[in-house]
Amino acid sequence: MASFDLAAALANHSHRWLVTGAAGFIGSHLVEQLLKAGQRVVGLDNFITGKQANLDDAVAKAGQGAASKFTFIKGDITSLETCHQACAGIDFVLHQAALGSVPRSLADPLASHRNNVDGFINMLVAARDAKVKRFVYASSSSVYGDEPTLPKIEARAGRLLSPYAATKHVNEIYASVFQKSYGLETVGLRYFNVFGPRQDPNGPYAAVIPKWMALLFAGQPCELNGDGTTSRDFCFVLNAVQANLRGALAQGADVSDTVYNVAVGDKTSLTQLYGFIRDRVAKTRPEVRDLAPRHLPFRPGDIKDSQADISRARDRLGYAPTHTVAQGLELTVFPGAV
């Protein structure tokens, strides 16, 4: 059942979903889309990186009556008790909670391990005990490490380049072990540079797209790591939402106990990306049209190029990106249409 009508699957069945990291960037979009589909949603977040404003925006955009179907728990996945509380009565877990960022993990590997590994196994145990139907979790393209071949395929990886990548690799191992040992169905999603509205532009570990947008709207120059040829498979957030929901609902003997690339299947250089963003910002701030970025040294722990092969997600989940990079950037710079 690789291809199925996702909207119909949601419309025909009401489930109870847990979204961890619900106040974060991707988590809040999952909350919004599930509530729009009439589903019952529990959100869990500790607000270390998530924001109440994200949740408020998500619930408001979900429409009238959405708030009555949403329950929020302020808590931390490093507490097994909290994880058990959050998983009670849940059908599907969409686990997004983590400390992201390669540089953050290099600066504080213990914090990354505590949240991304200890917290992850707490969630697996709680989901197993609650007998949830499926546990879908956020992995990362960072697990490919220094493997140079493009596009990236799930079966081939290189040496890991950061503590963050190591935590996500461990997540994938534990998820597979829990399916084999306890029968908990698990699906891992290797995100490739997801972007979109609500992504935080502030702080030392901010992603490049919201950071550049904020600087350009302020008329300030941007900093670009490397010579600009570094490339990424940038993926609009609604593509990632689709992958999560399909990962939870797709049927088939080969759907679970595996990982999937979540991307568009293309690559964009940082120089190209900067030009795309600058040209869109210049529609309202024409003075930045000729503003050039300042180049910095290549950032330690980063890979040079990244592009995904999305055929496994397409074949097994029915995943098909609905937004290109250009379309996603238009909706990110001018988010009123999302």
Structural domain contains residue 197: no
Structural domain contains residue 17: yes
**Which residues does the annotation mark as catalytic?**
164
pLDDT in the model for residue 201? 87
Structural domain contains residue 113: yes
CB distance 91 to 247 below 8 Å = no
Structural domain contains residue 331: no
pLDDT tens string, the chain, 338 residues long: the values are 467 899 999 988 999 999 999 999 999 999 999 999 999 999 999 999 999 999 999 999 999 999 999 999 999 999 999 999 999 999 999 999 999 888 899 999 999 999 999 999 999 999 999 999 999 999 999 999 989 899 999 999 999 999 999 999 999 999 999 999 999 999 999 999 999 999 988 877 678 999 999 999 999 999 998 999 999 999 999 999 999 999 999 999 999 999 999 999 999 999 999 999 999 999 999 999 999 999 999 877 677 888 999 999 999 999 999 999 999 999 998 876 55
CATH of the domain at 121: 3.40.50.720
Structural domain contains residue 292: no
pLDDT in the model for residue 205? 67
Structural domain contains residue 271: no
Structural domain contains residue 279: no
pLDDT in the model for residue 336? 65
Number of domains the chain is built from: 1
Structural domain contains residue 201: no
Give me the domain span that covers residue 68. Answer: 6-192+237-263+310-321
Q: Which residue in 323, 217, 324 sits closest to 280, CA to CA?
A: 217
Give the tokens for residue 246: 């399909």
Alpha-carbon gap, residue 204 to 300, rounded angstroms: 15
